[in-house]
Chain A
Amino acid sequence: MKSSFLWRNRVLLTSGILLILSLHLISTGVHPGDLAARPQSAMLEVISPVTGAFTHLSDGASSIVSDYMDLVHVRQENAHLRNELARVESDQARLKELEVENQHLGELLELRDVLATNAVAANVIGSDASGISRTLILSSGTDDGLAPGMAVLANQGVVGKIIAVSPHASRVLLIDDHNSALDGFDQRTRARGIVAGLVDDGVMLKYADRSQDIRTGDTIVTSGLDGIFPRGLLVGTIQSVHREGPGLFLGVRITPAVDFRELEQVLILTQPPPHLPDQAARD
């Protein structure tokens, strides 16, 4: 048995089969409800509380370090005063944090009222584990009514869309990821294009007609035609326009309205936007 070809090459053969299986998964994709999606959902469910705990701990540690730096000279003067001040500072920081969180949630609530649609607020608890893609992990999942394909917003503008969910967590593909695309247009010229992420960390308005008078500083908003984002949401402002080259389209770079690194709370639209083909056609 141990001298047989299969036994001697068992590692290579198993790895080969697993590589083919991986390629199959990559090429066909994993859709919600698929058998292959269940381990992913389970993994997200298992890891998200641990990630949340680590994020909470690290936030606390940064707060402690920051408090220490602020109070180092007080420490030299009086140990008792330092401890008392640290306690007050800590309470103040906590209150400030609650105030900021309250303000963020208030802004999201206002946004929800403006959009006049069903929406759920969620906390951001983690980022992409590998760092090569740009995704976020949220603290809400199917139990809160979330599903893949839902639009994710912040009070500053568009964040991305849900790509994976588990009962208590979900993942968001940010608009600056190189696999992300949404339909948008220039608010001034009404020129349409596809807002897509780039490998080099930027965002671009692709397929914008070369004849359009798109300028630096113009505002890009969602068109609502992709069936995910409601019409008129802020995506970002135009950073640069390249007209050189022989192509049919302009090279338009966008600065996203949202700073994804600073995101703490987001709003997820649980209802698809109303379809507005006539209005879009008029533009």
Chain B
Amino acid sequence: MRLILLFAVFVILGLALESAGARVLSFRSLIPNLIIILAVDLGLRHHGVIPAILAFAMGYATDALSGSHPGLNAFMMTMVFLVSYEVATRLMTANAGVGAVVVFFSVIATALATVAMANGFNALSDTGWMLPGLTLQAFISALIAPIIFAILSTTKRLTGLTATSSRERSIRDR
């Protein structure tokens, strides 16, 4: 329950910041994708049914403020969670550096996948103009990700939640 409440607060703040930021900054690429960072944190550090549902819910919440195909962001965030989970279960560590790399590729992959799923794969041929801005946004998101992970980790500790993945804990205990 604490995890759900914690992420609900972060998602509301993140979406409001992204939405308001897009109004203020004319260059949209400067705004990091905060929801992907949250989904990656869930996938790297929380392995269970509730975190998976939480990732889906985060995406569905994003659908309320983005796009015209409800379910699209829910699909993307579940995929990001799943990829992050797979990364965390295969690597010895799931530190902020690994998270930043996953965030970088997730921002680019989800944007292109969103265009492809909403308009068909032919539309990908028109996405060349998006790539420089998208890469910049992915880079900024990856740059800011360790800070968000640290804030999340501190908040989790303060609320009595575990801030490391079960795999990391089992390796540490050995």
A interface, CB within 8 angstroms of B: 10-12, 14-15, 18-19, 21-26, 29-30, 36-37, 39-41, 43-44, 46-47, 50-55, 57-59, 62, 124-133, 135, 137, 163-164, 171, 173, 177-180, 198-201, 261
Contacts and interface: CB of A to CB of B under 8 A. Distances in A.
Contact of B16 (A54, A131, A178): A54
Contact of A130 (B71, B114, B129): B114
A181 B28 CA distance: 24
A179 B74 contact: no
Contact of B115 (A41, A128, A132): A132
B52 to A, nearest CB: 4
A158 B130 CA distance: 25
Give the dominant DSSP class at B's interface. helix
B168 interface: no
Given A54-B17, A128-B22, A24 B75 contact: no
B154 interface: no
Contacts of B47: 11
Taking residues whose C-beta sits less than 8 angstroms from the other chain, chain B's interface range is: 35 or more
B66 A11 contact: no
A15 B123 CA distance: 27
Contacts of A30: 70-71
A52 B15 CA distance: 12
Nearest to A43: B64
Contact of B24 (A15, A19, A55): A55
Interface in B60-106: 60-75, 78-79, 81-82, 85
Contact of B56 (A21, A40, A199): A21
A11 B49 contact: yes
| Residue in A12, A29, A30, A128 with the greatest tally of chain B CB atoms within 10 Å | A128
Give the dominant DSSP class at A's interface. helix
A33 to B, nearest CB: 14
| Residue in B55, B64, B85 with the greatest tally of chain A CB atoms within 10 Å | B64
A45 B58 CA distance: 15
Contacts, number: 188
Contact of B49 (A14, A44, A137, A163): A14
Contacts of A25: 70-71, 74
B24 A199 contact: no
A132 B78 contact: no
B170 interface: no
Given A40-B70, A128-B65, A179-B68, A51 B20 contact: yes
Given A51-B19, A137-B19, A173 B68 contact: yes
B13 interface: yes
Contacts of A22: 56, 59, 71-72, 74-75, 78
Given A25-B71, A135-B68, A129 B119 contact: no
A133 B26 contact: no
Contacts of A19: 75, 78-79, 82
Given A14-B53, A127-B22, A177 B68 contact: yes
Nearest to A49: B16
A12 B82 contact: yes
B111 interface: yes
A131 B22 contact: yes
A99 B22 CA distance: 25
Contacts of A51: 15-16, 19-20, 65
A126 B60 contact: no
A62 B133 CA distance: 23
B140 interface: no
A61 to B, nearest CB: 9
B133 to A, nearest CB: 9
A245 to B, nearest CB: 15
A130 B12 contact: no
A171 B53 contact: no
B70 A36 contact: yes
27 contacts: A10-B48, A11-B51, A14-B49, A14-B52, A15-B78, A15-B85, A18-B56, A23-B71, A43-B65, A51-B15, A58-B24, A126-B16, A126-B22, A126-B23, A127-B28, A129-B62, A130-B18, A130-B62, A131-B18, A131-B29, A131-B31, A135-B67, A177-B68, A179-B68, A179-B118, A199-B115, A200-B126
